[in-house]
Structure 1
């Protein structure tokens, strides 16, 4: 009976072993997105020109483009962690799970490229 004990130093742990690192990454990316939301709200509430020219003027500053891109990268990484966990928890066939993870990565990289293209065209 003592040989079947899975508690203690010799416990067999299965899974991806991400745990604390992903939990922390989710919280940090959420904080970055919350700070960006506050910055965007302040800019919106203090603006007097609610037109395309006003928004284009706001995004014409290089620092604002960079802050926006950092917030978007945080969003994409936050989404990756969440969706990857969903795939790992609920899709059991390895081939299908791998396909879904690769498709998710490709989609998020394409979104990041499109976001950069939009931001630096303004």
Structure 2
């Protein structure tokens, strides 16, 4: 794949993830302003709903993809020493993967009753 097509794919991922993030935030704020969970158990029941869980996981995947594309583009454009760029990309990539695993663990454990 050419360099231009790679840039187009990154551009499309950035725009698609931004649209989902915006729509999800608007929906969630709207829903929660009228149906606020009044206790921890109510909040846990809300998050344990499969539709909410899937939408929330997609939200965080979109957030991590959006962050990765943005960080990657900034580092590629402004960090010129190759080894430093690879080191920073590895650092941020590892951090985003760790955040994704932590988010998935938190969301899946929210539905488990203790």
Unaligned ranges ≥5, structure 1 = 1-15
Q: Structure 1 residue 88 and structure 2 residue 76: aligned? A: yes
* Cα RMSD for the two superposed structures: 1.7
Unaligned ranges ≥5, structure 2 = none
Aligned residues: 108
Q: Structure 1 residue 121 and structure 2 residue 114: aligned? A: no
Alignment counterpart, residue 33 of structure 2, candidates 41, 45, 69: 45
Q: Deviations over 1:45-90 (max 9, x none)?
A: 2215333233212101011111101000000000000000111111
CA distance in 2, matches of 1:56, 1:43: 16
Q: TM-score of the superposition, structure 2-length normalised? A: 0.86
Q: Between 18-27 and 77-86, report the one with greater CA deviation.
A: 18-27
Asked which structure has the greater CA Rg, the reply is 1
Greater fraction helix: 2
Higher relative contact order (CA 8 A, sep 6+): 2
Q: TM-score of the superposition, structure 1-length normalised? A: 0.80
